[in-house]
A and B are shown apart, each in its own frame.
Chain A
Amino acid sequence: MPPDKALDGFGRYSGPATLILSSLADGAKHGYALTKDIESFAGVRLAPGTLYEALARLQAQGLIEPVESHDRRRPYQLTAVGAATLRAQLAAQRRVADVGLRRLAQGWGPA
């Protein structure tokens, strides 16, 4: 599946999925660390059920993988496919943001 289409099947989970992939972009994290990190950079606190639903989907799609751990808190890391998917997803979001900001500037003046 092309990277820019990999999150298409996530529906309303594409938001949490993008947040999780973005959080894992700088290294492996377990569930609690993911929650805290996402809260710090996005201002969104993912509820535990939503977080693990998205983690299970991302793992099933091969976008993330668990890291071997002796701790009860298992960390997850991005796979190469996950990294490509995140890159494509963020690029698409940037295109939308650029267009929106440009039009805002044209119609409403610079910020």
Chain B
Amino acid sequence: MRASTSAARAARLLRWYPRAWRSRYGEEFAELLAADIEERPRSASRTADVIRGGIVARLGQAGLGGGAPEPGGHRSSASLAALGCCAAVFAAVGGAMWSQLTTGWQWSPPGTTGVTVAMLAMSAAMLALFALAVLAVLPVAWRVAAARAKGVRGPSALFLAGLAVVVIGGRHFGNGWPGTGGHPWAHQGLVPGGVAAFSWASTLSVSSFWAHRAALAAFPAAELAWMALSPLAVAAAVTGAAAVVRRAGLAPDVLSPRVLRFETWLGRLACAAMAVFLAGTCAWVAPLLGAGALGAGGAGSVFRPGAIDVAGLAVLALALAVARQAAGQARVGAR
């Protein structure tokens, strides 16, 4: 095999590894790979080994274990960032499921003790997650404000614009929902009607209606636009916030060990809250799943889980599993 061909194949394989790893080991690793390819032109086990190594390196860089250990501060911060992403996914999917139940409760309390207990557990966990998120953001926001860094105007504007769209849109569409904010019986449920309405409207995009085009066609155009736009607004807010933190010079290994330990502690509490929420969701979905009553209509059908709730349950379980792994890695790194 020609040397140029093996070098090109080595370069392609190298792309499985993250940029930081490539900048450190890329040249020498590509040399070894090219020599190996010249000796054994066809080797599925080599390709599989490189792909596995690349994935392990990427997981390691994301603070999810595996790969070479990073210096303590960086490892801990990367793990916390991964944990934050998992918690955000958990909150979005879990929030959509929880809002279905809270809006239902605005009309009438659940008919079974199981669903009532599940709702109480889910609501307490959701409240805890919100409080923990606020506590986690405060030290970082304080450092960003104190840094007075240049070049944060653009990302700040992006963050504020995304946040404004979510808040204004959530309020607008929440108030239009007859079962929540606009209902005369509002505030009779487990949570204030406005909260139920906002959580329902802001997670409207997490919906099984995406799979039913005929049903979607019957939706008002403004609501469809909101379902498509709201995830983009959330993404803009998250991107803007991340860029502000980066430009403010808060590199992962710059956060003090004390702050890292605090954030790690909050992360472990968040995992506990997520576990409580997941247990509540299981208590709600599992009995009806066993009875084959998924998505059944009729009276009290707002409390009946649908196929999307089962899918949501799987997403929640996966997010929690990854979050726990990240929390464990963050704890090791923060020591």
Contact = CB atoms under 8 A, between A and B. Distances in A.
B27 A48 contact: no
B35 A60 contact: no
B130 to A, nearest CB: 37
B225 interface: no
Contacts of B51: 49
B56 interface: yes
Interface of A: 9, 30-32, 35, 47-53, 55-57, 59-61, 72-74
**Main secondary structure on B side of the interface with A:** helix
A53 B56 CA distance: 9
Interface in B46-69: 46, 49-54, 56-57, 67-69
A55 B50 CA distance: 14
Contacts of A72: 27-28, 30-31
A49 B53 contact: yes
B68 A35 contact: no
A81 B49 CA distance: 29
Contacts of B28: 30-31, 72-74
Given A47-B45, A48-B36, A57-B68, A32 B53 contact: no
B68 A56 contact: yes
Given A32-B32, A73-B31, A50 B49 contact: yes
23 contacts: A30-B28, A30-B31, A31-B29, A31-B32, A32-B32, A35-B36, A47-B46, A47-B49, A48-B29, A48-B49, A49-B53, A50-B49, A53-B56, A56-B21, A56-B67, A57-B69, A60-B70, A61-B69, A72-B27, A72-B31, A73-B28, A74-B27, A74-B28
A50 B53 CA distance: 7
A31 B31 CA distance: 9
Contacts of A73: 28, 31-32
B33 interface: yes
B25 interface: yes
Contact of B54 (A47, A49, A56): A49
Nearest to B30: A72
Nearest to A50: B49
Interface in B65-107: 67-70
Given A57-B67, A72-B27, 19 more contacts: A31-B28, A31-B31, A32-B35, A47-B50, A48-B29, A48-B33, A48-B46, A48-B49, A48-B53, A49-B46, A49-B52, A52-B25, A53-B57, A56-B67, A59-B68, A60-B68, A61-B69, A72-B30, A73-B32
Contacts, number: 67
- How big is the B interface, by class? 20 to 34
A11 to B, nearest CB: 10
Given A48-B46, A59-B68, A53 B32 contact: no
A73 B25 CA distance: 10
Please provide the 3 A-B residue pairs with the shortest distance between their CB atoms, ordered closest to farther.
A49-B53, A56-B68, A47-B49
A76 B53 CA distance: 20
Contacts of A31: 28-29, 31-32
Contacts of B30: 72
A47 B37 CA distance: 11
B57 to A, nearest CB: 8
B49 A49 contact: yes
Nearest to A47: B49
A54 B199 CA distance: 47
A49 B262 CA distance: 36
Contacts of A35: 32, 36
A60 B21 CA distance: 13
Contacts of B21: 56
Nearest to B332: A9
B58 to A, nearest CB: 12
Task: Give the residue among B28, B30, B33, B57 with the most A Cβ atoms within 10 A.
Answer: B28
A32 B38 CA distance: 12
